[in-house]
Chain A
Amino acid sequence: MKNFTIKKLKIRPATIIVFVVAMAFILLMPQVNSGYKMLCLNLTLIYAMVALSISIMLGMGGQMTFAGVTMMGVGGYFTANMTSGRLGFAIPTLPALLLAPLFTALVALALGLVLLRLRGTYFTFATIGLVQVAWSFYSMNKPAFGGYDGISGVPKLDLFGFVPADYNQWFYILAGGLVIVALIIERIRKTQFGRSLAAVRDNETAALTLGINVYITKVYAFAVAGAICGFAGALYAMMNRYISADTFTFDVGVRYIIMAMLGGVNNTIGCILGAVLIGMLPEWLRVLQGYMQFIYGIGIILLMIFMPMGLSGVFLTALKRYRKKKKIKLEHRASQTAAEKGEA
């Protein structure tokens, strides 16, 4: 009888490859790019955080939401209001960066308690409503959000004395932030919360009889996703020094969903990859600028037909098949040697 022990720390080749590629990417990119290109790349890292928040709700929990873009706005406007001094006071940037996700999580918690009373598609539609309502507030309410002019004069992040001088230096800060977010998500996946979410996604009845409060688990996920978006929004406000409602439209929200879908909605590396691809595509395909909407559209349709689990899904299926083949081969060889021994 075989005994079960969880392999404590088994590093697979795939993990090492991901790590090396990520390090090379982080170290190399600021060396070979600058100025506007670097800004695009930086924005991509911020987008990736929002895409990852979608992977918590949709990938782990099976709840489709458009609210990411709105929550990013909550974090962004919070930071702008707290640090620009337009309200008559200003707090330092580092505390603001830490308070923004907390504040956004509280807002998301309150919204989640209401919206997640709805289930499935009804919840999704309600989040569309939320995005529209929030955008109206952002673009029209002057006291809280600066109205159409937005809020300017947001100071740069001061990280214990390190103030990024240009977009290249910002890149390191954002990459660091993204790595933290990615690690949190990978940790969630492996603990009770991640398993509960998977149960909510795959079988609500089983989840309930396994003691999982389905509703509260979804609300909790919505709050965690909100915190991540709030963090992204705060970084965005500080890098951009200015924030306005155009960044938080429904259209932009849909793009975050596409990023997550393209990379693979339940895969951390996939979501980041999706964000980089969608974020940089307009840069790489400058000549086709006028046709971008068309390309996106065709791309989404093909994606849903040929790889519903995104790029990472295709990769993981291939990897699994390869491992299985290898296992069968090993077993075959073992039985062969056993047979030979028997003959001898």
Chain B
Amino acid sequence: MKPVLRLDTVCKRFGGVIAADNTSFSVLPGEIHGLIGPNGAGKSTLMNLISGIYTCDHGNIYFNEQDITQMPPYERARLGIGRTFQTPRFLQRSNIRDNLLLGTDLSNRFGYTSAFFGKKGDDFESELNKLMQYAGFSFDWDDDISGIPFGQRKLLEIVRSMLAHPKVILVDEPAAGLNNSEVDNVMKLLTVAAKERGIGILLIEHAMDLVMNFCEQIVVINFGKVIASGNPEEVSSNQDVIEAYLGRQRNAQN
């Protein structure tokens, strides 16, 4: 199967910090692909490089084998690269409806003028109703987004990205700060995205049980470098990985 997303020797430096060091891996359609590593390893940086918020110093990024290394972020989003953020990003001054409609707008990019004159796109309501069954909570349309608890906002961000019908979603620590039932709902949404809709998922997550249970493939990075990759068994028995994580624990104890 052709990968939906492929990184080829991607490099990124911030001053003296090497955040991505010759990183290569690929994500298949319908696959949940874990991206793990200690704090500051460069995981979020990779997502920013893939979505185009940062530009690569070196190397290439391919979407369905099309080189998108030089493409601006909004065009990558239109191709089908969705994402969520480590801390959710919403329009603080808009209500929930407008915030979610932005997701639908992305799959209906027929231009501001035709939209102004009433051209209709996807059926927003039924699509949203379907997704909210998995998200497991409801809300009032006109409520401000700022009144929504953190965990639900993280869920809503995944919902928003799915409303756009992407081919791949980059999910940055979806479970951090969530309670157990919210984590369950996150994983339900991501499973639906991958298994029913064939969306490739690149998942950053610190909770090891989630990563080991849900990911088919895992890539481990440390100091921007890939130190291991493979299926959960291979990765969890890898000596470098154990060291990187044990080393982190030792540091934490000091």
User: Which residues of A pack against B, CB within 8 Å?
Assistant: 1-7, 187-188, 191-193, 195-196, 198-199, 201-203, 205-214, 217, 220, 266
Contacts and interface: CB of A to CB of B under 8 A. Distances in A.
A202 B92 contact: yes
Interface stretch (B2-10, B105-113, B216-224): B105-113
Question: What is the interface of chain A mostly: helix, strand, loop, or mixed?
Answer: helix
B115 interface: yes
A6 B97 contact: yes
**What are the 8 A-B residue pairs with the smallest beta carbon separation, nearest first?**
A211-B77, A2-B138, A193-B112, A206-B89, A192-B115, A202-B91, A208-B73, A211-B106
Interface string B144-166: 00000000000000001000100
Interface residues of B, number: 40
A140 B84 CA distance: 55
A210 B164 contact: yes
B112 A192 contact: yes
Q: Which of A5, A202, A220 has the most CB of B within 10 A?
A: A202
Question: What is the interface of chain B mostly: helix, strand, loop, or mixed?
Answer: helix
Given A187-B116, A192-B105, A6 B141 contact: yes
Interface string B107-129: 01100100110000000110011
B93 interface: yes
Contacts of A212: 74, 102
A217 B102 CA distance: 14
Given A198-B91, A208-B74, A211-B74, 19 more contacts: A4-B128, A191-B112, A192-B112, A192-B115, A192-B116, A195-B105, A196-B112, A198-B94, A201-B91, A202-B92, A203-B91, A205-B53, A205-B89, A206-B85, A206-B91, A209-B77, A210-B74, A217-B112, A266-B93
B116 A193 contact: yes
A4 B98 CA distance: 14
B102 A210 contact: yes
Given A203-B89, A209-B53, A213-B74, A195 B94 contact: yes
A201 B93 CA distance: 9
A187 B113 CA distance: 11
B185 interface: no
A203 B99 CA distance: 11
Interface of B: 51-53, 72-75, 77-78, 82-83, 85, 89-94, 97-98, 101-103, 105-106, 108-109, 112, 115-116, 124-125, 128-129, 132-133, 138, 141, 160, 164
Contacts of B74: 207-214
A6 B112 contact: no
Given A6-B125, A192-B115, A1 B138 contact: yes
25 contacts: A1-B138, A7-B141, A188-B116, A191-B116, A192-B115, A195-B102, A198-B94, A201-B93, A202-B91, A202-B92, A203-B91, A203-B92, A206-B85, A206-B90, A208-B77, A209-B77, A209-B82, A210-B77, A210-B102, A210-B160, A211-B77, A211-B78, A212-B74, A212-B102, A214-B74
Nearest to A212: B74
A193 B94 contact: no
Contacts of A7: 141
B106 A202 contact: no
A1 B133 CA distance: 7
B125 to A, nearest CB: 6
